Amino acid sequence: MDLRSVIRTIPDYPKPGIMFRDITTLLTDARGFRRAVDEMVQPLAGAKIDKVAGIEARGFILGGAIAHQLSVGFVPVRKKGKLPHKTISQSYELEYGVDEVEIHVDAVKKGDRILLVDDLIATGGTAEAAIKLIERAGGEVVLCSFVIDLPDLGGAEKLRKAGKHVSSLLAFEGE
């Protein structure tokens, strides 16, 4: 099965010139979803992972399934103000402004080996903020895993230059 065949592309969303890669069609396809999760777990064979951290919101779906498959805990990386307990946060730059992501203060223990998961890596700002947040909490991000890489936007390369291992199932180049 070609995973590209179950990923919908929506032209000019959320603004003209953007080709939005929608994985909700992948998630509704049982075989495609299973294959994506299996392929995201495969590079971890023999690796010690303590927790999976998923970036809001599609990273929750993928990360939860991967955590289940690895029999480890799950850490939600949420937008500011969404978690009910005491949190730590990390800000990051957006195209127009600044945003923040948070985790609970007790979500990551010192020395935890973390797999960071999201559906897509574009400029890498949110993933980079999540990594900084996890590391401030005492964890070590051992792999960043995405379904889709948009290499023209440089996010995966930015994470690699920062010393992180990055894997993705698909790349949409020049689009």
Q: Is the pLDDT of residue 175 over 80?
A: no
Mean pLDDT on 55-69:
97
pTM for this entry? 0.95
The DSSP code sequence of 19-44 is EEEETHHHHH-HHHHHHHHHHHHGGG
pLDDT in tens, 31-51: 999 999 999 999 998 899 999
Q: Please say if 135 is a catalytic residue.
A: no
How does residue 21 score in pLDDT terms, banded at 50, 70 and 90?
very high
Note the pLDDT of residue 1.
83
102 catalytic, yes or no? Answer: no
The fold adopted by the segment(s) 47-171 is Rossmann fold (3.40.50)
Please tell me which residue in 4, 31, 39, 58 is annotated as part of the active site: 58
Of 1-5, 64-68, 105-109, the one with minimum mean pLDDT is 1-5
- Average the pLDDT over 85-94 and give the result: 94
For 65-90, give the DSSP string: HHHHHHT-EEEEEEETT--SS-EEEE
Annotated active-site residue in 4, 21, 95, 160: 95
Q: Residue by residue, what is the 3-state secondary structure of 106-146?
A: CCCCCCCEEEEEEEEECCCHHHHHHHHHHHHCCCEEEEEEE
Q: Is 102 helix (H, G, I), strand (E, B) or coil?
A: strand
Report the C-alpha dihedral over residues 125, 101, 165, 10, rounded to 10 degrees.
Answer: -60
pLDDT tops 90 at residue 103: yes
